[in-house]
Amino acid sequence: MKIAVLPGDGIGPEIVKEAVKVLNALDEKFELEEAPVGGAGYEASGHPLPEATLALAKSADAILFGAVGDWKYDSLERALRPEQAILGLRKHLELFANFRPAICYPQLTGASSLKAEIVSGLDILIVRELNGDIYFGQPRGLRESPDGLFKGAREGFDTMRYAEPEVRRIAHVAFQAAQKRQKKLTSVDKANVLETSQFWRDIMIDVSKEYPDVELSHMYVDNAAMQLVKAPKAFDVVVTGNMFGDILSDEAAMLTGSIGMLPSASLDKNNKGLYEPSHGSAPDIAGKGIANPLATILSAAMMLRYSLGREEQADRIETAVKKVLEQGYRTADIVTPDCKRVGTVEMGDAVIAAL
């Protein structure tokens, strides 16, 4: 089993190091190969997704990814910015199904900005389509406005679009995920305004006929944003497009107390996947040794489960994480009164001790 390790920028290298440490502490040894990506890729070879990095990602059984991005690259042309690395990997490897679980650990209810009774026991799963939508739709760019009130003025434009097979495949993934959980699926769209969304909704309804055991409901994205803070526990699985999923998954993550706790998986149709924390590169705290490595460690657990078929090892890591929380270990983002405040490396050590 070969794992491509792509630490990236900001806190990426620090947190990935801890996840690698945890993987190396398991009984089974994996072949780990590291390569630069994002700003680090740009520094190494002039492109955020160097060819050798992409080749490694393609040849590996799974990819463990840190985070990309740093303000110092903001002035680069779009094609060279660090974000293009993750977008490129998702597209080149056809990682269309993004799983973003939002779980509120009992020990961390106090860390949420919402009242404890609203978030305690929260366990929702956002399934975000990752290969289409306005993120990748062509045409896009800058042009002279061809019509309307501002005809002739400069305008920026993007295209929201979804092809039927694209919606069908994410629908199946989401229904199957719901079957393994509470069997409730909420499809989030903006069908009251957007053609793409009405099309999405019609297909969701069609696919639902193959999953009579799953209860499908629909919600407009603005309402979903509101319900997520009002009554988040009413959700089980949420399926949505790339753009809405980007926004709602950050919102859902924050319900749990810290985005520093949440892993994610991006899978292709054969369950090969890229695993990364839901959070970003946090350049403001990079190198300080205070970042929370748990989201990345939990991403490694998801990798063992979904792509490497090592369910038992995945369980071991997840149990170890729960144990360190019970023992009171906390990084800066999740500090609570009377906790044992630790840095990135100590948190990794605590997980290994708990293993």
Judged by the rule CB under 6 A, the positions of this chain that interact with ligand IPM are 83, 86-87, 246
Among 61, 123, 250, 268, the one annotated catalytic: 250
In the complex with ligand IPM, which residue's Cβ is closer, 89 or 301? 89
Residue 13 contacts by C-beta under 8 Å, 6 or more apart in sequence?
A: 7, 66
Q: Where do we find the tokens 């405040």?
A: 341
Q: How far apart are the first and last CA of the chain?
A: 21
Distance CA 162, CA 183 (A): 25
Query: How far apart, in whole angstroms, are the C-alpha atoms of residue 67 and residue 10?
Result: 7
Could you confirm whether 73 is annotated as catalytic? no
Catalytic residue among 70, 133, 190, 236: 190
Question: Whose Cβ is closer to Mg ion: residue 61's or residue 246's?
Answer: 246
Binding-site residues for NAD(+) sit at 280-292
Integer angstrom CA distances of residue 116 from 34, 113, 253, 325? 40, 9, 15, 17
Our answer to whether residue 349 is catalytic in this structure is no
Residue number with CB closer to Mg ion (26 or 87):
87
> Which residue has the CB atom at the shortest distance from ligand IPM?
83
Minimum distance, C-beta of residue 246 to ligand IPM, in the bound complex (Å): 5
| Cα–Cα distance, 264 to 313 (Å, whole number) | 17
The minimum distance between CB 28 and ligand IPM, in angstroms, equals: 29
- C-alpha–C-alpha distance, residues 281 and 337, integer Å: 27
Three-state DSSP state, 330: strand
Is 329 catalytic? The answer is: no
**Minimum distance from CB of 48 to ligand IPM (Å)?**
11
- What CA–CA distance (Å, rounded) separates 315 from 16? 19
Using CB under 5 A as the binding rule, whether residue 246 contacts Mg ion is answered as: yes
Confirm or reject binding of residue 251 to Mg ion (CB under 5 A): no
Whole-number Cα distances in Å, 255 to 90, 119, 318, 330: 26, 7, 20, 18
Would residue 2 show up in a list of annotated catalytic residues for this protein? Answer: no
Nearer to Mg ion, 246 or 251 (CB): 246
Stretch that binds Mg ion, among 43-51, 226-234, 240-248, 322-330 (CB under 5 A): 240-248
Segment lying near Mg ion (by CB under 5 A), choices 25-33, 44-52, 179-187, 245-253: 245-253
Residue from 42, 105, 135, 211 carrying the catalytic annotation? 135
Just list the catalytic residues.
Answer: 135, 190, 222, 246, 250
